[in-house]
Amino acid sequence: MRRTDRLFDLIQILRDGRLHRAGEMAGTLGVSVRTIWRDMATLMASGLPVEGERGVGYILRAPITLPPMILTGAELDALRAGVRLVADGADPALARAARMLATKIASVTPAPPEAGDDDLFVFTGKEANRAPAHVPLLRRAIKARERLTLTYIDAQGRETHRDIRPLALDLTGRVWTLAAWCDQRHGFRSFRVDRIMALAETGETFAEEPGRSLADYRRLMADDS
């Protein structure tokens, strides 16, 4: 059994919301208890709401399910494209989640005729390779609403230093961009993540304020388009 298949089977076992011991799952899947321990560590690291430990058992506290739905061919292509953008890409946590999602999609849908052995691909290049150093920290800061300081190279090649309130990350084509409120410029700014030379945590959090929120940024971008 491939590891991706085994991880999918483990999720199916845990979906009932009950406590499952590693020995029981190992017997069901025909693997060793140590293999189950490693697999559960992988699932927990991927962000799945699994709680437990060795010798006690594991439980899925908040199963995430979607109601049955029918997708058109175009919608399925869009779903695959979204997974492809992040699988094996810049953010390790998102990459693992994308691979697991791809396994679930493949289990219930046929692969397109043009697909090879792997229905996923990754956009490569200097932009995508530069971003990984900063994307995980940016994601954490966005969730925690933590101010950051950064050293940035602008489009003219000039180095600047900014104090920002990170709001959102977007991946467009091959380039990660960060939407933020810049304290120096007293306005919204969009930074290309591959142009961030240095990034540091401040330990300072910020509250959402009228005129400086992500919703305000989205409205501003819509008005400008």
Domain assignments of the chain as residue spans, ordered by start:
3-60, 66-122, 128-224
DSSP-based three-state secondary structure for 191: strand
Dump pLDDT digits (tens) for 137-157. Answer: 998 999 999 999 999 998 788
Do 36 and 52 form a contact (C-beta atoms < 8 A)? Answer: no
Contacts of 106 (CB under 8 A, 6+ apart): 119
Specify the residue for token string 């799945």.
Answer: 48
What pLDDT, on the 0 to 100 scale, is given for residue 126?
52
Cβ count within 10 A of residue 102:
19
Do 90 and 174 form a contact (C-beta atoms < 8 A)? Answer: no
Looking at per-residue confidence, does 73 or 22 come out higher?
Answer: 22
How far apart CA 81 and CA 75 sit, in angstroms, is 10
Structure tokens given for 137: 């920290």
Dump pLDDT digits (tens) for 69-86. Answer: 677 767 776 777 777 777
What pLDDT, on the 0 to 100 scale, is given for residue 55?
81
What is the share, in percent, of the chain residues with pLDDT greater than 70?
79
Interval 51-69 mean pLDDT:
76
Half-sphere exposure of 45 (CA within 13 A, CB side): 12
Strand 146-153 versus strand 57-60 pairing type: unpaired
Do 196 and 159 form a contact (C-beta atoms < 8 A)? Answer: no
Interval 204-221 mean pLDDT:
91
Helix (H) / strand (E) element for 177: namely strand 175-182
Strand 50-53 versus strand 57-60 pairing type: antiparallel
Taking the domain 128-224, which CATH number applies? Answer: 2.30.30.520
pTM comes to 0.49
Q: How sure is the predictor about 124, in pLDDT bands with cuts at 50, 70 and 90?
A: very low
Structure tokens given for 191: 């930074």
* Range in 11-25, 80-94, 135-149, 194-208 the model is least confident about: 80-94
How far apart CA 101 and CA 79 sit, in angstroms, is 10
Residue 211 φ/ψ region, left for φ over 0, alpha for ψ in the -120 to 50 degree band, beta for the rest = left
Distance between the two ends of the chain, CA-based, in angstroms? 50
Cβ count within 10 A of residue 38:
13
Domains 3-60 and 128-224 share a fold: no
Q: How many helices (H) and strands (E) does the chain have?
A: 8, 7
Q: How sure is the predictor about 89, in pLDDT bands with cuts at 50, 70 and 90?
A: low
Q: What top-level class would CATH report for the domain 3-60?
A: mainly alpha
